[in-house]
């Protein structure tokens, strides 16, 4: 079944594109809402892969892009605009009988964590390749808001991620009341593994989605 294209109003004069993937077969009762990293858009390859895998498990998924990508600009919008986009998308895709797990890759997940910390109601938060700090700048941690997150949260990152070493990620995740960490052995920030590992990018992606599915069984 092809994805359904949606247009979501995120301000009085602004809309963004979203794509909805319907579940295959019986519904799991979950909807996954996903935003990509700073350099990607609604066709983000990991988001597409996740939506297709989750559809086979009965999930509906919605992935969207931020206004700057809608306009074809490379520089991300200011943080407040990114946060408002997340808020409006979440409200637009709520549906009776479906629990919401929201998140995304890198910046997309980080901004989702902001709005959840600010009180937007969802059931779970999934953060893939959370950019805890800029590379080589361990003092610039983006963890101040994590203690305000009250929903179950998954952190799934590679062990070679330059934006968060495993120990740093474990320490940051402990600020969230209910959190889980899954480390993708040998993967970098883009979820690519070394060729010598014998693993393909799809292998890493599948492991990330399997980790999310396993984690949600207990949510």
Give me the CATH number covering residue 118. 3.40.50.1820
Range of the domain at 132: 4-216
Instruction: Give the model's confidence band at 137: pLDDT under 50 very low, under 70 low, under 90 confident, else very high.
Output: confident
How far is residue 23's CA from residue 31's CA, in Å, rounded to a whole number? 9
Domains: count for the chain: 1
Average pLDDT, the chain: 96
CA dihedral 25, 92, 48, 146 (to 10 degrees): -110
How far is residue 85's CA from residue 18's CA, in Å, rounded to a whole number? 11
pLDDT computed for residue 161 by the predictor? 96
How far is residue 128's CA from residue 54's CA, in Å, rounded to a whole number? 15
CA distances from 104 to 25, 26, 57, 198 (A): 25, 24, 18, 26
Chain-centre distance for alpha carbon 180: 15
The mean per-residue pLDDT over the stretch 153-157 comes to: 98
Residue 206 clears pLDDT 80, i.e. is over it: yes
How far is residue 121's CA from residue 151's CA, in Å, rounded to a whole number? 9
Residue 99 clears pLDDT 70, i.e. is over it: yes
């Amino acid at each position: 079944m092809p994805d359904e294209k949606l247009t979501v109003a995120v301000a009085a004069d602004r809309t963004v594109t979203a794509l909805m993937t319907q579940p295959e077969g019986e519904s799991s009762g979950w909807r996954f809402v996903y935003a990509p990293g700073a350099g990607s858009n609604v066709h983000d390859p990991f988001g597409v892969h996740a939506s297709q895998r989750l559809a086979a498990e009965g999930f509906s998924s919605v992935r969207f892009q931020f206004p700057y990508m809608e306009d074809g600009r490379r520089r991300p919008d200011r943080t407040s605009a990114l946060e408002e986009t997340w808020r409006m998308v979440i409200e637009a895709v709520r549906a009776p009988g479906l629990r919401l797990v929201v998140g995304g890759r890198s910046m997309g997940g980080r901004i989702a964590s902001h709005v959840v910390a600010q009180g937007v109601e969802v059931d779970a938060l999934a953060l893939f390749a959370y950019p805890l700090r800029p590379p080589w700048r361990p003092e610039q941690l983006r963890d101040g808001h994590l203690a305000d997150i009250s929903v179950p949260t998954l952190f799934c990152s590679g062990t070679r991620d330059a934006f968060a070493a495993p120990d740093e990620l474990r320490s940051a995740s402990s600020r969230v009341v209910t959190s889980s960490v899954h480390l993708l052995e040998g993967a970098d920030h883009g979820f690519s593994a070394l060729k010598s590992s014998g693993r393909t990018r799809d292998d890493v992606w599948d492991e990330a989605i399997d980790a999310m599915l396993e984690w949600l069984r207990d949510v």
